[in-house]
Structure 1
Amino acid sequence: MKGEVRLRSYTQDPAEIAAYGPLQDETGAKLIEIEHVRVTPKAVIARVKGVTTREGAEALNGTKLYLARAALPAREEGEWYVADLIGLDAVDTSGAPLGTVVGVHNFGAGDLVEVAPANGGETLLVPFTEAAVPEVDIENGRLVLVPPEELDED
C-alpha cells in the first residue's frame, strides 16, 4: 500500500513495535507514530501516521528509530538490554581486567559479546553463554568472563 514502510524491529515480538508508543529519530526532533503493523516472512511493514504517499515513505529511508528507555519493559532476571552491556568492564573470574564490552552480536548461532582487550589489539568475540559469561553485574559496571584461550596465551 502507498505510504507503508519496511522496518527492522528488534523487539522480542516484531509486531509489538507499535505498542511502545511514538518512536523518535536519532536527534529526538522527529516523532514517528506507527498506526498499523503487519509482519511478513521477509519484513515488518508499518503504516506511519501522516505518511500517505510513496514519496513520504521514501523520505524515511535509512531513518533510525529509537524508543525512550522509560518505555521499555522491566528486565526479567537473567535478561539484559544490549545497551546495558556495552561499556561494561570485562574481568576474569579472579577480577583481573580483560577489556571492555564494545558490542553484542548475533549472526544466527547465538549471542556473542565483543570485547576490546585491555592490552589493545583486535577485539574478541565470546559466546554469551552462562559457561563463558557466568556473571553480569550491571550495577557495578562489569561482567565476568571465563577467558578464551586467546587471552590466556598473553
Structure 2
Amino acid sequence: MSQASDKVVIGKIGAPHGVKGWVKINTYTDTPEGIFDYQPWLLGDGKEYQLDQWRPHGKVLVAKIEGIETRDDAERIKNLDISITAEQLPELDENEFYWRELTGMQVVTTQGYDLGVVKDVFNTGANDIIQVRANAKDAFGLKERLLPFVMDEVIQSVDKEGKVITVDWDPGF
C-alpha cells in the first residue's frame, strides 16, 4: 500500500451529546476546529461519513454526522477513530514533514554511524522528538534514543526518497 492511500487518524468520536445523534469530538489536529476542514471522514469500519453540523459546546466540540439520527446511532459509533486519506492532507513545503513520513526512516550520524530506525515522533512542548530504535548490533548497548527534531542543530537533512535522516549526534548518548 502506498503512503498516498494510507489512512491518517485525526480524531476520535466521543460520547453521545443529547438525543438527536450529536456526538462529542476528540481531535488530534493542531487546532481543534481544524478537524472539520477535512471531509469525508472514515470511521472505524472504513465507511465514509459527511459532517452535517458542528459547534463548540463549553470546552468540547460536538458534531452532527449525516446518517446518525438518534442517541442509539451515536452510541454505535462512540470510540471509533476518525480518519481521512493521506491525499486530503495539505501539501507541505520542502523542509516540512508529517510525522507519519518520518516513522520508519533510517537515522545515521554525520560520521556515518547507523543509530537505527524512527519508531515514533512526539512533541514535548519545547520541540518535536524522534524516538529511534537502535539496531540489535548497537555498539553502545542502547536500545533506543530520543533525539530533538531541531533542523540544522541536530537534524542535518531528511531524505524522503532515500528514507534517511542525517543527524549531528553523539552515538554514545
* TM-score of the superposed pair, with normalisation by structure 2: 0.74
Equivalent residue for 1:37, pick from 54, 76, 89:
54
Query: Cα–Cα, structure 1 residues 24 and 76, in superposed 2: closer, same or farther, change >3 Å?
Result: same
Letter in 1 for 2:162: N
Higher share in strand: 2
- Secondary structure in structure 2 of the residue aligned to 1:134: strand
Q: Unaligned stretches of 5+ in structure 2?
A: 1-16
Q: What is the CA–CA distance in structure 2 between the aligned matches of 1:11 and 1:126, rounded to whole Å? A: 23
Q: What is the CA–CA distance in structure 1 between the aligned matches of 2:62 and 2:124, rounded to whole Å? A: 23
Q: Unaligned stretches of 5+ in structure 1?
A: none
Q: For the aligned residues, what is the CA RMSD?
A: 2.3
Q: Which has the higher contact order (CA 8 A, sep 6+)?
A: 2
Q: Is the 1:100–1:115 Cα contact (8 Å) retained in structure 2?
A: yes
* 1:18 and 2:40 matched: no
What is the percent sequence identity of the aligned residues?
29
Q: Is the 1:90–1:145 Cα contact (8 Å) retained in structure 2?
A: yes
Deviation at 1:26, TM superposition (A): 4.7
Q: Is the 1:105–1:113 Cα contact (8 Å) retained in structure 2?
A: yes
User: C-alpha deviations, 1:122-147, integer Å up to 9, x for none?
Assistant: 32221111212221111110111222
The match for 1:70 is 87
Query: Cα–Cα, structure 1 residues 122 and 96, in superposed 2: closer, same or farther, change >3 Å?
Result: closer
* 1:152 and 2:172 matched: yes
The match for 1:122 is 143
The match for 1:99 is 116
